[in-house]
């Protein structure tokens, strides 16, 4: 069963390659969705896939890539259909 989650990640998450690292990790895990920076300094993402893979992606998102410092990971259930993982423009 496909699981869909909306994430908002705060901390030192912009200017450290977070979005590109997240896209690489999502593609590695076979998770679809998107990621973007937000004007308030956070990163927002939608992830979709097998529950176990989504769980792995959530664990990664709480840590982030080297150079980042995640203060808070907000996760909520969502709906959506995605065929790949892409970068979206800042919102």
Distances (CA, A) of 16 to 11, 49, 54, 66: 11, 26, 23, 8
pLDDT tens, position by position, 70-84: 999 999 999 999 999
Domains of the chain: which residue ranges?
Answer: 2-81
Q: Which of 19, 32, 39, 53 is catalytic?
A: 19
Q: 30: which DSSP letter?
A: T
37 is catalytic: yes
pLDDT band at 21 (very low <50, low <70, confident <90, very high): very high
CATH of 2-81, one of 3.90.470.10, 3.30.360.10, 3.30.70.100, 3.40.50.10480: 3.30.70.100
pTM to 2 decimal places: 0.96
C-alpha torsion sign, points 91, 88, 14, 53? positive
Q: Which of 6, 32, 37, 39 is catalytic?
A: 37
C-alpha 84/C-alpha 9 separation (Å) is: 21
32 is catalytic: no
C-alpha 61/C-alpha 25 separation (Å) is: 9
């Amino acid at each position: 069963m496909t699981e869909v989650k909306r994430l908002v990640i705060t901390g030192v998450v912009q200017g450290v390659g977070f979005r590109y690292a997240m896209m690489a990790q999502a593609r590695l895990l076979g998770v679809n969705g998107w990621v973007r920076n937000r004007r308030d300094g956070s990163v927002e993402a939608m992830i979709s896939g097998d529950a176990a893979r989504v769980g792995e992606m959530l664990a990664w998102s709480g840590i982030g890539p080297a150079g980042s410092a995640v203060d808070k990971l907000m996760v909520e259930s969502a709906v959506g259909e995605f065929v790949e993982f892409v970068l979206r423009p800042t919102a």
